[in-house]
Amino acid sequence: MVVLERMNKKMQDTIDSQFFNVQKSALFLDVNPNTIRRWAQQGMLKGVKIGSRGDWRFTKDDLLQMIRKKEYEN
């Protein structure tokens, strides 16, 4: 059981290092966290929901793509 817990922790650390949560995404894009959630819900920002709470996760590539999209619109 301890081995499984360690493995789950290691997997979570790997996931956390590869994906940005809403807070980190908002800091990265310099916007409000609610903006990140709205963009994700509207499909403007690609992301995945994880866990029973449905927390959003985003890749750095998806966040960079959002920057390019916003620069193009301006």
19-73: in CATH 1.10.1660.10 = yes
- pLDDT band for position 5 (50/70/90)? low
pLDDT digits (tens, 9 = 90+) for 15-61: 556 899 999 999 999 999 999 999 999 999 999 998 899 999 999 99
Sketch the domain layout of the chain as residue ranges.
Answer: 19-73
Please give, one letter per residue, the 3-state secondary structure of the chain: CHHHHHHHHHHHHHHHHHEECHHHHHHHHCCCHHHHHHHHHCCCCCCEEECCCCEEEEEHHHHHHHHHHHHHHC
Judge whether residue 2 has pLDDT over 60: no
